[in-house]
Amino acid sequence: MTQKLWQRDITPLVEQILCTGQMSQTQHFQLASALLSNQQMNEADRRQINRVFDYLCTGRVKLIR
């Protein structure tokens, strides 16, 4: 059985995005889905995802196609 993103540690994905300053559409979809579909996500994971989206909105992270 494949684990969903929110069922495992999202820290490596978030760190990769913040380190490179780039996020793929797939990564965007994974983070958005995890944030919107999981009410049991802990606050630390939720904050990490929100930080990525804040960086995307301010131009510190670019969405690549």
Mean pLDDT for the stretch of residues 11-28 = 96
Q: How many CA atoms lie within 13 A of 11 on its CB side?
A: 4
Residue 22 phi/psi, 5° resolution?
-135, 145
On the question of pLDDT at 18 being above 80, the answer is yes
Mean pLDDT for the stretch of residues 13-21 = 97
Across the chain, mean pLDDT equals 89
Q: What is the pLDDT of residue 43?
A: 92
**Radius of gyration of the chain from Cα atoms?**
11
Residue 23 phi/psi, 5° resolution?
-140, 130
